[in-house]
Amino acid sequence: MKGVSILGSTGSIGCQALDVVSRYPERFFVTALAAGKNWRLLSEQAARFRPELVSVAAEKDARLLEDSLPEGYKPEIHWGEEGLMAVAACAGAGVVLTAVTGTAGLLPTVAAIKAGKDIALANKETLVAAGEPVTKLAFDKGVNILPVDSEHSAIWQCLSGRIPVSLARRATGQSGGDAGGLTGICSREVGNIILTASGGPFRREPEDLSGVTVEMALAHPNWQMGKKITIDSATLMNKGLEVIEAHWLFGVEYSRIRVLVHPQSIIHSMVEFVDGSVLAQLGLPDMRLPIQYALGYPERLSNDLPRINWFDLRALTFQAPDYSRFPLLRLAFQAGEAGGTMPAALNAANEVAVEAFLNRKINFSSIYGIVSRVVENHRLISGPDLEEILAADLESRREARKYAGLT
């Protein structure tokens, strides 16, 4: 049996991960759970799965959580950043699912890697902000980084047993080295990685995106996700972040990463090989599939989840992304190419701008304006360490709050 710790257990990915775990009681058990403010749902999860350790964001919620647990069940209860670290490094876990939103997931993920835990990565911001030091640390520790995002899971599966660069040490027996180096199978056999995007709710209309409301932006046509990632999908920033993450996971240059709008969300991504052959991974838009693949690795487990009804598929369509309509996607490519602390600045500014939009402080179109100003003014540091990345993140948040009129 494999122990699973979950950072962000009460969010969309965390809840679906627990559904996956519940389907395989003979294979998985829950060792630790971390949530934010939703101590009530965490209490229900803890009562069902009986982890040895649980954590919430605030001390007052930890006390409420403790009082709500069933009689006779006494897990360790933590809170705050220390609690996230404790869940990440919990001794019984074989794999840590990092599903918290934003760069809040960076340091706990690093803690899990240092503790020798495999990472099921649903927190793309970790590799966006700190791809170089995180992949190098994972490489040095012999830790697997298993992608959970449906697009990156699709690429991984299309590589047919070949694994992301971050897994190379375990496969080859090497030690040390440049985990982010553009070497190995991707550089020899892969021509292009093709990430598909639904296009979000505004692929066609309304024409004037400045009038988009929060409710309109949250109405994603295909996926049920958390609020932040749903807004990112509406701006296509989510796809831009995935481009940067794919660069670090698979060791592919940005010039060989493509984005293709596929409104049906049936093809989750594709790999075009150097001989012109293309492999695609297809499935219904259900995040339990990539979660299960990551948790069950190296096995592919059977399940009773819904299947594609091929006779109901009328068409699979594709189109190029409209960079003028969704300029954040182009900006993400540019930040990734610049490297260093630039992706961290991009991500931090976007987190602040999206939060401001969700709180109705700015309009939808202002998200790009804020992020682009922060990126334009950012003083890039090449080859940064974690401390420099976190400093860049903090400074970019200050700048974004200023541009959003929040200070």
226 with 8: CB under 8 angstroms?
A: no
Residue 319 pairs in a beta bridge with 261
* Run of H or E including 347: helix 342-358
Q: Is the bond preceding residue 133 a cis peptide, omega within 30 degrees?
A: no
**Residue 126 in this model has a pLDDT that exceeds 80:** yes
> What pTM does this model have?
0.91
- Nearest residue to 271 via CA among 244, 295, 252: 252
* Run of H or E including 60: helix 59-68
Calpha distance 36→158 (Å, rounded): 35
Of 39-43, 124-128, 182-186, the one with minimum mean pLDDT is 182-186
102 pLDDT tier (thresholds 50, 70, 90): confident
Q: What is the pLDDT of residues 39-63, one digit of tens each?
A: 999 999 999 999 999 999 999 999 9
Q: What is the pLDDT of residues 315-329, one digit of tens each?
A: 999 999 999 889 999
- Nearest residue to 244 via CA among 361, 140, 328: 328
- Decide the pairing of beta strands 28-34 and 2-7: parallel
**Residue 169 in this model has a pLDDT that exceeds 60:** no
What's the whole-number mean pLDDT along residues 169-177?
41
pLDDT of residue 214: 86
pLDDT of residue 177: 37
Q: How many helices (H) and strands (E) does the chain have?
A: 17, 11
Handedness of CA 295, 300, 301, 306 (dihedral sign): positive
Q: Is the bond preceding residue 206 a cis peptide, omega within 30 degrees?
A: yes
